[in-house]
């Protein structure tokens, strides 16, 4: 088992067929932190707080269970690399006590189903003891929070 980065296809299929009203421009989506014991199924997983996202979450101090709202969200057309990218303000939260945070699960907290959007893999586990966790999103042209390759 291991954290992996990816986009959850069921959520985007439901958004395009009108099953859910997913608005990526709102700032009510949250990011929860998980340990490396989590394995995502990007084709089948649908929601935060249900299996496998009902276990292996890490939180503490100023980072509460359920996560922190993602702010400053914007879609960027990075036409020079043929990507449509979701970018956001970097996340920085002080006075956290976290054990081995390995991945960031972005989900639609305002939707009744808490639909999962994407998972970011830190590559290395992050532990804090009354410290600050900072998540720096890459520049939009390099991928941002998530991106779609628009190459035909």
Q: How many domains does the chain have?
A: 1
CA dihedral sign, ordered 32, 1, 15, 143: positive
Higher pLDDT, 32 or 83: 32
Tell me the HSE value of 36 on the side-chain side, using a 13 A CA sphere: 10
Asked whether residue 99 is domain-assigned, the answer is yes
Asked whether residue 151 is domain-assigned, the answer is no
Residue 1 pLDDT grade (very low, low, confident, very high; cuts 50, 70, 90):
low
CA dihedral sign, ordered 23, 24, 26, 28: positive
The 10s digit of each residue's pLDDT in 11-29 is 999 999 999 999 998 999 9
Mean pLDDT for the chain?
93
Asked whether residue 63 is domain-assigned, the answer is yes
CA–CA separation, 101 vs 42, rounded Å? 19
Residue 95 pLDDT grade (very low, low, confident, very high; cuts 50, 70, 90):
very high
% of the chain beyond a pLDDT of 70: 99
Residue count of the chain, please give it: 152
Least confident of 91-95, 111-115, 140-144: 140-144
Q: Residue 138: which domain range?
A: 6-142
Asked whether residue 147 is domain-assigned, the answer is no
Asked whether residue 149 is domain-assigned, the answer is no
State the average pLDDT over residues 110-135. 96
Asked whether residue 148 is domain-assigned, the answer is no
Asked whether residue 98 is domain-assigned, the answer is yes
Asked whether residue 110 is domain-assigned, the answer is yes
């Amino acid at each position: 088992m291991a954290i992996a980065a990816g986009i959850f296809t069921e959520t985007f299929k439901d958004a395009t067929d009108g099953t859910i009203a997913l608005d990526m421009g709102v700032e009510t989506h949250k990011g929860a932190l998980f340990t490396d014991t989590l394995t995502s199924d990007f084709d089948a997983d649908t929601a935060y707080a249900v299996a496998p996202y009902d276990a292996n979450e890490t939180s503490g101090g100023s980072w509460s269970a359920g996560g922190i709202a993602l702010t400053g969200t914007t879609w960027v057309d990075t036409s020079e690399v043929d990507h449509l990218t979701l970018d956001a303000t970097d996340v920085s939260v002080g006075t956290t006590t976290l054990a081995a945070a390995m991945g960031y699960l972005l989900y639609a907290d305002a939707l009744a189903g808490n639909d999962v959007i994407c998972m970011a893999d830190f590559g290395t586990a992050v532990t804090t003891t009354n410290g600050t966790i900072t998540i720096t999103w890459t520049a939009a042209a390099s991928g941002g929070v998530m991106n779609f390759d628009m190459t035909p």
